[in-house]
Amino acid sequence: MEIWYTLTGTIDPKVVNDSIYWINGQLYSHPVKKLLFIISSTGGDIDSSIRLHDYLESLPIEVTTCGFGQVDSAAINVFIAGNNRLCLPTCRFRIHAGSFHLSDKATAIEHIEEAAGFLKEMDRRSNEILAQKTGKTIPEVFQLKKSGLMISGADAVNLKIATQLIDKLPLTQQTSSKPLASNA
């Protein structure tokens, strides 16, 4: 059985928690062999995107991700978790160095140093994810993100972020079992 999940909008802790909860519910109540994870997102929380990436990559089933619209920033961590990574030619990918928002309130220097260490680790892990899936080195990924690119689906295939261009979303109903879908 194949299940479908669609994530649109910003990646944040609630969206990621809801995604994992729904997928787990399907895995434990149906004989699922494949997940088609469809994504269009302008990015969001990098920590949440890494959590969803690690979850999708650790599933004991075939995971195909499919990008449409845009797969920007932190959403690339989620997209690249797929064994197969499909995208439409018109899908936009925005690759850039991580940006982080700090509170405007007065904070002790120790808290700022602790936060900086955490943010550096998230950035390191995000770079590691992209390097592992594309075959690039960490310094190459760092330079790629530093350049702040906006690329097409074809460019994403050339950079090995995506594995295949497709003309239409692969939403065909199976004859042996009815696929399930969810909107996040």
Q: Mind listing the pLDDT tens digit for each residue in 94-144?
A: 988 766 665 667 777 777 787 777 678 878 898 899 999 999 998 988 888
Token pair recorded at residue 45: 């929380």
Contact present, 90 and 152 (Cβ < 8 Å): yes
The answer to whether 98 and 130 are in contact (CB under 8 A) is no
Question: To the nearest whole percent, how much of the chain has pLDDT over 70?
Answer: 89
Q: How many CB atoms lie within 10 A of CB 106?
A: 5
More confident residue, 171 or 69: 69
Number of Cβ within a 10 Å radius of residue 62: 14
Identify the pLDDT of residue 96. Answer: 80
Q: Record the pTM.
A: 0.85
Q: Of 105, 165, 113, 128, whose CA–CA distance to 46 is shortest?
A: 128
Is 90 exceeded by the pLDDT of residue 147? Answer: no
Region 29-55: mean pLDDT is 96
Closest of 5, 127, 149 to residue 66, by C-alpha: 5
**pLDDT the model gives residue 174:** 52
Least confident range from 4-13, 104-113, 138-147, 154-163: namely 104-113
Residues 89/92/98/103 CA torsion (nearest 10 deg): -150
Token pair recorded at residue 142: 């760092």
Q: Check: CB of residue 85 under 8 Å from CB of residue 62.
A: no
* Contact between 17 and 44 (Cβ < 8 Å): no
Alpha carbon distance, N-terminus to C-terminus of the chain: 21
* pLDDT confidence of residue 14: 97
Burial 66-97 (b: 16+ CB within 10 A, else e): bbbbbbbbbbbbbbbbbeebbbbeebbbbbbe
Tokens of 118: 């955490």
